[in-house]
Each structure stands twice: as C-alpha cells, then as structure tokens.
Structure 1
Amino acid sequence: MEKLFTPFKLGAYQLSHRIVMPPLTRMRANVDGVLSPLTATYYSQRATEGGLIIAEATQISQQGQGYPQVPGIYNNDQIAGWKTVTDAVKEKGSIFFLQLYHVGRISHSSFQKEGVLPVAPSAIKPTGNAFTSSWKREPYERPRALEIAEIHQIVNDFRKAAENAKQAGFHGIEIHAANGYLLQQFLEDKTNQRDDLYGGTIENRSRILFEILDAVTEVFPSNCVGVRLSPFNDIGDMADSNPEKLYSYIISQLAERELSYLHLIEPQVRSGLVEEMNHEAPASVATLFRPLFPGALIISGGFDAETGEQALEDGKADLVAFGRAFIANPDLPKRIELGVSLNVLDKPTVYGGDERGYTDYPSMEQL
C-alpha cells in the first residue's frame, strides 16, 4: 500500500497519507442541529496526524434541512457545538474540512418554518419518500420554484455558513453539489427547467455553483475550498440529457479556480445502504474527467485498500475516500498500513441513535 501512504500537498495543507474520511451523515445532532460532545469523540477517534477528514453534510440554513437530527452551521449554538469537535480533531493533528449543503427538494414541509413547501430550481416532485422531522417516511412533496432574489439569498447563506465554519475552527470547506441536493438540482436538466439566468444553458444552470464559490472564497482562500460532484449518479431522482457535456464544462471551469480539490463520487445508484452500479454510466468518472482537472482529485464510491491503491497507481486520483470502513474502524489508516482485518459495519446503527455503532467500534488495541 505504498501509494496510499505517500505524503501529499493538498492546497494549503500537507497530508501524511492519502486515506480520506469523507462526509458521512450520522443523524446524531439534537433536534436543533447542535452536536453533543459524543461527536467530538467520534471524529477524534478517527483523526490521524496529517490525515484529511471532511465532516458530515451540514445545512447552511433551516430551509436547507432534509433529515432529522443533522447538524447545522447557521446559529451560535451550532457553531459552538462544532467548535468542540474541531478542537478535538485538531489536537490529533488532522486537517478538518466541513461540507456545506442545502438539500433543496429532498426535504419535507415538517422541517420548514410554518410548514411551507421545500424549494427547488423548478416545481418538480422527486420520486420516493422523504424523511419527516419525526423520523417517518412520507412521499416527497412538490417543491416550490425559487425566485431569483431567493437564489441570491441562498448564495449569501453559503457565504455566512463559510464564515461560521471558519469561526468554528475548520481548516476549509467542501461545497456539496452532488447526491441529488439543491446544487445538483440546478445543474441537471431533469430538475432544472427554468428559463431565466439560472436555467436553460449549461452556463446558466451552473451559475449558482460558481456564484457560491465566488462568495465562499471571500472567506476561505480557494486552496482551502473543495467541491463534490456525482456525475451520472441518479440518487435523488436525478438525470441530465448530456451529463458528459455538462460535467466536462463544470470541471473545466473548476480547474481554473485553483481549488483545494475536486471530490468525485463514482457512478453508483444508492438508496440508504442499498447500492448497485448505474450501468448507463462510464465505468469510472475519475478516468473520464481526470484530463480536465490537473488539481488534487479525491475519489469515493466503494473502494477498499486494494482498489484504492490501484486507483492511485493508475493515476485516476490523488486521494481515496473510504466511507463505511471509516464508520466501523476508528483506526482505519493504521489497519490498512498493517494489513489488519477490519471491523464489520453494524448497518442498523448508521443513522441516528447514541454511542452504539458510533463511538464504540474497537480499535486494534482494544481487541
């Protein structure tokens, strides 16, 4: 596993290895989106000197919430909760980024002020069932199309969330434009049927993403900002009529911005913990788009130590994210380095709950 343990300069930071802990939703904040000290334990257990952790998707506003008990970063209590986490992670020497998002139509009126409808680029209802604030599953509602002034407000909400992330002590941020959430809803033409400055052409549909990047790089330098994309993934009832053309344009534009990294999710169809390949997608989006992005590239999507090492050897990417393995193995990099077997993921405890399946997975020393 030589490549996985080769140091790497990631934007403003030096990494000691290339094993990344990606954003992993765990639903263990309180009902107000404030994290408990248990979360500081969870992340610090997985922190390594010079390792990169990207904290779980965190909503920029109440309007952006789509799941129960997920964290926010839009008020002082939430900032304070995250500060306890960043302090614990930085004490271990890890580089710590926060993923910022707005779920758009993948929400439910129970999360919204006064029970109003979720918002989206266009009033197009997704298939499937939403979480409600009481953890029930109900069919998605038809969202309300955003007005232009509201889009500008969302851009400002991302800027403010970046300011709050900086106050909370994060080294950088990742903008979540993947997995069927609001920014991907703007990017792809199945969900964006607007006829104004934010719809129609690829340039218009991607406008909000680049406006957000302009806004947040007024807070963090560009080499402390990453972007996550999921080309060809249909999670969240997503699709585009020409995804290769769309994402070639976006990635080419991102390449000019000297970002910390681009984070690509390989094309898998996922629903909770059920996963299968999208057979209409290329075998590897990293291979397809790597020539367009000379900067640091992170890939995720079902990798293990062997396939991750091979991806680096093949030049597909510079870093590899290991999601479920990091949930079950707080000392994952050490286990990979020593060739030690991994703990098995306890699937029923992934979302919600207490320390069980969160902070009680044993390290090698505890076995």
Structure 2
Amino acid sequence: MTSPLLLPYDGPHLTLPNRIAMAPMTRGRADDVTGVPHPLTAEYYAQRAAAGLIVTEGIWPTVLGKGGPGIPGLVTDAQVDGWHAVTEGVHAAGGTIFAQLWHVGRMTHPLNLPDGAAPVAPSPVRIEGEPIYTNQGNLAHVTPRAMTTAEAEATIADFAAEARNAVRAGFDGVEVHGANGYLIQQFLAENTNRRTDRFGGSRAGRLRFALDVVEAVAAEIGPGRVGLRISPHNPENEIAEEDPQGTYRALVDAVDPLGLAYLHVIERGAYGALADLRPRWSGTLIGNFNGTEPTSQRAGEQVLAAGLADLFSYGRLFISNPDLPARFATGAPLNAHVPGLVYGGDAEGYTDYPALGDRVGSAVRSLS
C-alpha cells in the first residue's frame, strides 16, 4: 500500500508530486555583512528538490528583523541575485520552492543589528530566560523598543516588498512566518502585546498586524502564491497565549476567504490546533510537529490519513537526508542528524549528507 505521503497532490494553487514538504530551517550560512546566501545554498536546496514543496529558511524583510549571524535577507539586488541562483537550481531539479518571510522582532540583539540598534517589538517586554546567540556568543536579551504605529505600518510594507523581491528571485511563492514567538506572534500574544493603538488592546487589535501583513503580501504577488505559518499555543521564546483557540479561530476565519496557497500549522502545546482548525480552513493545510526530536514517517502518515492535513512538513530529517521521499518510499535507513553542524560553517553538515545513490556509488567503487 502506497504511503499517503507519497501520493501526488493537486490543490487549488499547488500541484505537487508528493505530500512531503521541507519545513523552513535556519542554517546561518549567509554572508553576515551583505546578507547574501552562501554559494552552497543553491546546491543545498537543489539536493532536496524531490520534496513536494520546499520552504526556505527564514529571510528578513528589513535588517531590523535579522535574528542572528548568517541570516540571509531578500532586500538588496545582491540578495535577490543570490536567491535567484537557488530557485534556478531547484527548478532545474524539478522542485517547487517558497521563500519564508521572517521578522524576529524582540528575538535578536544589538550585536546582530546595524549600528547596535535596539530590537523592535510590539511592546517593551524582555525575554528573561534563554540567551540569544550573537557573534560574541550567547548573551542575555535586552529590552526591545516598542514599535510606533508608523513603524508597524512600515514593516508591513517591508513584508510586501520582500514578497515582490521573492518573485523577482524566481520563487514560486512565499510563506509569512507567524509562528514560534517571532514578530507576528508577538503581536498575537497577550503577554507580548500591551499596545493601545490599532495593533493592540482587543483580540481584533492583536490580530490586526498579522492580517495586514498577509493582506499586503497577497495584494503584492497574488494570494495563490502566499502561505501563512502559525503555531497556536506554542510557548517557544516565552510566548503565553491566554486563549489560543479564540485567537486562532478568529485569525483563520479572517484569512480563509483570501484564498491563500496554504496554511502551515505547527502542532504544539495542549491546544489541538490541527483538529480544531482543519474544519475552518477551506484550502491546502500543511501539518507539522515541531518537537525536540525528528518527526517520523509514521507520524506524518497518521495526520494525512486522519484528514487533518493535506501535506506534512519535515525539518531535521531533511537536513540529514536530502532524498527523504526516496527513503520513505523504499524503507531505506536514515542518515544520522548531527546537531552541532546545523548552524554556520560550510559544506560539512550542509551539502555533504549522502543520498542513496551516493551510498550505492560508494559501494560499487569499493568493489572495483
């Protein structure tokens, strides 16, 4: 019996050879000064083009949204050119690739920003726990500066401009990152949004920034090229949502009529987001389990078989297994993941994980 993950998908805006998505994952290998992708980035994504859909690592729409060393941008012509090489490689290999638009908000440090700028956020609420990584190692977070209303509106325009640049770079679409405690979720959550302007206060106010970003991006490049990623009730990066069900039902109800390419839902916390939101979403839905361990093939199959999602995304397994769909199809063993090689560096732990053909080729060579 064929795994549901390996069946083709023909949705309203996506026609894909299988239902396995490569989740966005930070790799930290861009030029830290220019924000241009590493020369090996094109090879890295092309190696994984057998995924039904690739979503890139997060890419900043403004340098104030840069979360750490080696995070790429999609603002300058040089950055656009760098990403164009990536999309060309993926398309030549038969793949589909979306760019993730990512502003970290308070999840950065002055050492990661130009001229030692203070991080910006909906409200001046500091992260007290885990440190933030910088070029000088792990440091304590600083208190972010609250964005003015005009700055919030300008940031919405930055997202739209980044989407336009993504199309220039040859991406098939974009994913707006509204998850994992970054800027958009900081606007959604009660503990990080204490504003009294139109971007805060009531639930409708807290939803406003997320909705404005999605609507602006959709208006710029067309809703069929836009995905949205959310992680309801996810405590990551010290987010505390008092009523995740109410917040995300309202968000999905407002976004669904736009006709987006997909909704990408990370299942975290006690709130069963996939089961609750699936009936409210009329388009393509991507499920994800962003736990501490790599998610198994079986987990994705169960989600699809239950009708909770149309596609399922894998992160860590794609880092170490560039040909993950082939391994799922054949039952081949998986390469071991090396956590210490995830961030920064060059080819090691990036483009040197072997594919099945590489392993066969090595065996043939050893016999000759």
TM range (shorter): over 0.9
For 1:103, the aligned partner's letter is: V
Separation of aligned partners in 1, 2:10 and 2:177: 22
For 2:150, the aligned partner's letter is: A
Alpha-carbon shift at residue 134 of structure 1 (Å): 0.9
The one-character-per-residue Cα deviations of 1:46-77 (angstroms, maximum 9, x if unpaired) are 102x7210111001111001111011101111
SS at 2:334 equivalent = coil
Separation of aligned partners in 1, 2:14 and 2:278: 22
**Is 1:305 the equivalent of 2:297?**
yes
SS at 2:201 equivalent = coil
Separation of aligned partners in 1, 2:84 and 2:190: 38
The one-character-per-residue Cα deviations of 1:310-361 (angstroms, maximum 9, x if unpaired) are 1111111100001111000010001101111111101110111111110000
SS at 1:236 equivalent = helix
* Structure 1: gaps spanning 5 or more residues: 268-277
- Matched with 1:74 is 75
User: Deviation above 3 Å: which 4+ runs of structure 1?
Assistant: 129-133
- Matched with 1:194 is 195
Separation of aligned partners in 2, 1:239 and 1:338: 42
Separation of aligned partners in 2, 1:113 and 1:341: 45
Separation of aligned partners in 1, 2:7 and 2:219: 32
SS at 1:153 equivalent = helix
- Matched with 1:262 is 263
- Matched with 2:119 is 118
For 2:163, the aligned partner's letter is: A
Alignment counterpart, residue 310 of structure 2, candidates 314, 318, 331: 318
Identity of aligned residues (%): 40
Separation of aligned partners in 2, 1:28 and 1:4: 30
2:112·2:135 contact (CA, 8 Å) conserved in 1?
no
SS at 1:12 equivalent = coil
User: After the TM superposition, which residues 161-310 of structure 1 pair with which residues of structure 2 at under 5 Å, given as runs?
Assistant: 161-267=162-268, 278=269, 281-282=270-271, 284-301=272-289, 302-310=294-302
Moved more, 296-305 or 226-235: 296-305
- Matched with 1:335 is 327
User: After the TM superposition, which residues 153-168 of structure 1 pair with which residues of structure 2 at under 5 Å, given as runs?
Assistant: 153-168=154-169
Separation of aligned partners in 2, 1:56 and 1:135: 23
SS at 1:176 equivalent = strand
**Is 1:347 the equivalent of 2:339?**
yes
The one-character-per-residue Cα deviations of 1:172-220 (angstroms, maximum 9, x if unpaired) are 0000000110000000111001111010111111111111122111222
Q: CA RMSD in A?
A: 1.3
How many pairs does the alignment contain? 353
Separation of aligned partners in 2, 1:13 and 1:243: 29
Moved more, 163-172 or 109-118: 109-118
Provide TM-score, normalisation by structure 2. 0.93
Separation of aligned partners in 2, 1:332 and 1:175: 25
- Matched with 1:271 is none
Separation of aligned partners in 2, 1:36 and 1:112: 19
Alpha-carbon shift at residue 130 of structure 1 (Å): 4.2
Alpha-carbon shift at residue 298 of structure 1 (Å): 0.3
For 1:235, the aligned partner's letter is: E
The 1:293–1:12 alpha-carbon spacing in structure 2 relative to 1, beyond 3 Å, is: closer
SS at 1:194 equivalent = coil
1:303·1:321 contact (CA, 8 Å) conserved in 2?
no
**Is 1:359 the equivalent of 2:359?**
no
Moved more, 248-257 or 228-237: 248-257
* Structure 2: gaps spanning 5 or more residues: 360-368
Separation of aligned partners in 2, 1:130 and 1:197: 31
Separation of aligned partners in 2, 1:132 and 1:14: 38
The 1:323–1:15 alpha-carbon spacing in structure 2 relative to 1, beyond 3 Å, is: same
SS at 1:37 equivalent = coil
- Matched with 1:24 is 25
The one-character-per-residue Cα deviations of 1:16-60 (angstroms, maximum 9, x if unpaired) are 100000101000111121112201110000102x72101110011
2:295·2:317 contact (CA, 8 Å) conserved in 1?
no
Q: Which has more helix, going by share of residues? A: 2
The one-character-per-residue Cα deviations of 1:283-330 (angstroms, maximum 9, x if unpaired) are x32112111112111011153111111111111110000111100001
Alpha-carbon shift at residue 132 of structure 1 (Å): 4.8
Separation of aligned partners in 2, 1:320 and 1:137: 33
- Matched with 1:89 is 90
- Matched with 1:46 is 48
